[in-house]
Structures are given as structure tokens and as C-alpha cells.
Chains A and B, each alone.
Chain A
Amino acid sequence: SQTIHQWPATLVQPVGSPLSLECTVEGTSNPNLYWYRQAAGRGLQLLFYSVGIGQISSEVPQNLSASRPQDRQFILSSKKLLLSDSGFYLCAWNGDWETQYFGPGTRLLVL
């Protein structure tokens, strides 16, 4: 069966510090992968999606970036965090019938 992992679960970082969030999927190959951010009181905002290794599409301009160094690994990064980067970050992959399955999420607090 397929599983999706995210780490860390929680992160508190100072403004201006770098960021690296990791997402890995098991039990499938060549999945479409997604990064979302969920801010308090708001819906999910699609940040990046990837249809293959090295293929990243950005949906919104921001100081975040994404990379896909391996088929089942998706990384969200920043060189310098802003206060507005705080939120709940969710990774997802496409399963059968394009259904998206989500990881447990990473809660990021930038102080």
C-alpha cells in the first residue's frame, strides 16, 4: 500500500533562517506530487506541483522553492523565511482517478 511521509511534524524558525521540508512517498512510482500551504482560516493554497524528477511548476510567486531530486521525494525550501511563511504545509500525491492523498503535514511557525 502507498504511504506518504512528511517531516518534521513541527518547526519553529526565526525570520531570515533557511527552511527545508521533506516529503516522501512509498509504494508507488512516478507520482504527481504537490505542496500546499494552509493558513489559519483559509483554504489550501497550491504552491508547487511536480509531474516528474526535476520538473517543478510554481503556482504563486514567493520566496519558497521546491525540488524533486528523486522520483518519490519532494522538498520545499527557502533561503530566508518571512513571518508570512508561517502555516501548515501539506504534501500530496495523485492516486487512482486523480484522487489526491495527503501527508500528515508540517506546522511551521516563523518568529
Chain B
Amino acid sequence: SQELEQSPQSLIVQEGKNLTINCTSSKTLYGLYWYKQKYGEGLIFLMMLQKGGEEKSHEKITAKLDEKKQQSSLHITASQPSHAGIYLCGADTSGTYKYIFGTGTRLKVLA
């Protein structure tokens, strides 16, 4: 089974709608990273969370790490077509700089 589970696997929303993507770990997260990937391209770093309860925002994207440091959510407010892509969470669950990644959430935003 996956150590990092992302949900949903895919999401189609109308432009302007809010959405949330979740990332759940079976282990304590030493660091949780959110990336965005467009098909056939590398991963673009969005945000990093380390402390339980931490919340970060960048433009219309907000990420949170829960107090127990085993779940993170990525929230997009007023989605736009430019938000479309694959969102991946990555994490260090061993404190050894070896990271694991979720399978990704494919987001499509309809104009």
C-alpha cells in the first residue's frame, strides 16, 4: 500500500469554484511538500510544511499540516484554468532525506 495517499485521484471543477486535495500518511511527517506538475514536465515546488498546525499560503493556494503531522490539505480558492495540472504531495517520513510521494491528484478546471 502507498505510504502517502492522496485524494481525490482526479478532480474536475468549474472555474471560480474552491477545491481541496488531501494527503494522508501512515507515518509521522518530518516535512511535507506540495508540488504541481504539468504533463510531461518537471515538478514545480509550491510549499513546504514542517510544524504541526502550520499553514502557508501563496496567491490562491493554501496548505495546512495537521497537528499530528500525518495529514495535509491543499486548498485552492476561486480556481482558474491556470491551476490545472497534477498536484503531488511528497514527504520525508524517516528523517533521512529520502522522500516518498503520493500518486498525485489530476485537476482540471473548466472555463
Contact = CB atoms under 8 A, between A and B. Distances in A.
Given A98-B92, A100-B90, A43 B41 contact: no
B33 A99 contact: yes
Contacts, number: 55
B103 interface: yes
**Residue among B2, B43, B45 having the largest count of chain A Cβ atoms under 10 Å:** B43
Interface string B16-45: 000000000000000101010000111111
Interface residues of A, number: 26
- Number of chain B interface residues as a range: 20 to 34
A78 to B, nearest CB: 21
A59 B98 contact: yes
Contact of A99 (B2, B4, B41, B48): B48
Interface in A6-57: 6, 32, 34, 36, 41-44, 46, 49, 51
B85 to A, nearest CB: 14
Interface of B: 2, 4, 31, 33, 35, 40-45, 48, 50, 88, 90, 92, 97-104
Interface of A: 6, 32, 34, 36, 41-44, 46, 49, 51, 59, 88, 90, 92, 94, 97-105, 107
